[in-house]
Structure 1
């Protein structure tokens, strides 16, 4: 189970009952309790040098800091993600420093550098594979006091573990992760389109039963827009509508695109396995005639994964 990071995308073809050991489970008919498992086949040493995906998240809010730890290293929460996109590497860093600090908006950048060789080195230096395959979830906790790790390699090797009761790695590891990401985020960025140059946004949804929804939002010079929607559901009837969209909503949509770095989602790997037979995509058309398409089923950290849904909601439900 993935606790508060990316949605768990376990491949059922690679997991058997014989591979999973139940380490702990609540008594029969118990309300709540801890359920913990260990995958026997999970490697504690990784041979591959070719990492393709990195995700590590951990909370330290229940920990106390030594006086030897400097103020800027007193990390109370960290979530770091690196994914290969069409034009570079998408980095997402969500970090809180010190008790009582408010969660800031995650930093998102698309860089030209291939950060994965450095992350391979980091995994070995910090022995991030040593807890591989262990998952523990305690029901009823007021918040997640632990975290999760999901790191993948082209060889098929994977580091994957979680615990919502306590930190899953040490503060030294959190500091090392933050240093790698902070440094990489200062590197050369991949140029992305400006939201002010969007002319249209097209939402396409195709359903297994033959149903579909298509919505086209045309942005107007005065800052407002017009949303034209066509849908078909269980019957053969096609429903059509056209509604105005106010300037405040358009501005919020543009802010959402920027905050979630939606234009960098192009070419990101998909979540696996596919848990829905519905295909959804957004296509952005720009003033210079160029266009860019992103999909909703990308492998992304939770902190920005709702970026697609926020646009979908405005175009298919609210308008």
Structure 2
């Protein structure tokens, strides 16, 4: 009987110690997680503060080179709390707005994930120095942390995209008008490449990014923000990067100007299924087709 009582007492003590130890470990773990989380948040906050300081310093240095800066509350007022949505693009939603002087504007609210602050401000300062009839005019911007917007002149006829396709079997624009639009786009690109002080390359020319005014004069838009020459939706790992590089190289071989340089489909299949190290960069294209 005594041994039984001693066993129960010892067992109870052990269980008690185990429970107490477990509770202590949980408390310590919770304290550690809380401390780590606090330090992590503090580090992120400090980085954000430093980033904001750099942006403000940039704005002070380039005060006379950047367009007018608006507060986010101003953006909400000019768009009537984002009531009239004009469209949606890869960079964000576009809303119709009106400035205090009555001028109509197009306000693009940028996605939070697009571009860091310094890239954004560099783009703003570069584009604001462009001035051409075939380039959409940037009138202002908003930069309040992750709240970023670009304010452009309002182009009433919208994008070329909705005009170039046939509707009910009838072409919406005459060939004469399409020709004038094409010439205007070329003039705008030539200006970006050679005419403005900061030469700009537009890597996304398409009907959606060509805006038309009242007289159907084309204006190039959407040349802003940290996209570079890369495909969308690609996971940044070595396998995906290799696949992308392989497809690009094979594609460049297939569109060679000289037909003799284009591989047959059997060779295309070999290149696609083979090792990327065996692929070579195709020759530079000729300015004209060979005889």
Q: What's the TM-score bracket when you normalise by the shorter of the two chains?
A: under 0.3
Q: 1 or 2 for the larger relative contact order (CA 8 Å, sep ≥6)?
A: 1
* Length-normalised TM-score, structure 2: 0.20
* Length-normalised TM-score, structure 1: 0.19
Larger Rg: 2
